[in-house]
Amino acid sequence: MVDLLVIGGLGVDVRARVPALPLPAADSLTVPPVELRIGNTGAGVALAAHALGLRVTLVDVLGADPAGDVVRAALARTSVRAVLVDAPAGTRRSVNLVDPAGRRMSLYDPRPWSGPAPFADAELAALVAEAAHTHVSIMDWARDALPVLRGAASLSTDLHDWDGENDYHRPFAEAADLVFVSDVQLGERAGEEAAALAPRTVLVTGGAAGATLHTPDAPPAHVPAATPPAPVVETNGAGDAFAAGLIAARLRGAAPLDAARYAARVAAAACAHDGMEYPDGLLPRA
């Protein structure tokens, strides 16, 4: 058995520190070293969960290219088991512009999957069967795999900045029993959209404003953002660390509100680190 199976969401982040967001109008800007490293949402959840002591398997497609080599090398430095299929279009990548306060703007290149399904239903079903929890990223090939993933002991997904209307996201939400979604696009409609997803447990995240926990048997509860243990370096990956923290707490038997409060501490600690390869002891275990 493994604690967590992560489906999809591998890629690289090209990180550039910039003087301000939005960028000032200029022909060019001199910035600190631009770095290429493992990133994207599935990697963020998997690496944070690994840092929290969970046994993790990660399943995805990955390019046989230099960007993919960065991902493979990072995973090799952990005990995360990677089940990978070559992606002819290459490795997904994001250009992350990070301002002095650690805020991020991401330019995402999804490298869409095309052709037959990369994993047979039987192979995915076997991986799901051996996991205590499955987390599915909103990847293109993963959407077609949702009928198999519904067989998970428990299933979560992150809809990110869903606007409540885009039909692409809805099958992920309907398949999961635990849903994460940002309030960036939902705004004042966040509570209404969360209620519409009942009886699922829904976490509406709002960055420094904290999160709101929606459960089927209790009123919505505000979860304040935690104080980082050190100055904020980068907020990229904080939402993935929050998801990993909540999943870890649930697997250890925590009540929903306690799990969300713990997840806030994990996310805050992640903001104090540069990148998703977390050193031992940075993310709180309890």
What are the tens digits of pLDDT across the range 201-225?
999 999 999 999 999 989 999 999 9
Tens of pLDDT, residues 82-97: 999 999 999 999 999 9
Cα angle, residue 203 at apex, residues 202 and 206 outer, rounded to 5°: 145
pLDDT band at 125 (very low <50, low <70, confident <90, very high): very high
Tens of pLDDT, residues 166-185: 999 999 999 999 999 999 99
3-state secondary structure at position 4 = strand
Q: Are 155 and 137 contacting, i.e. CB atoms less than 8 angstroms apart?
A: no
pLDDT at 7 over 80: yes
Q: What percent of the chain has pLDDT over 70?
A: 100
pTM for the model stands at 0.95
- How many whole angstroms separate alpha carbon 265 and alpha carbon 277? 17
Average pLDDT over residues 20-40: 93
- How many whole angstroms separate alpha carbon 159 and alpha carbon 42? 12
- How many whole angstroms separate alpha carbon 260 and alpha carbon 249? 8
Tens of pLDDT, residues 66-85: 999 999 999 999 999 999 99
pLDDT at 52 over 90: yes
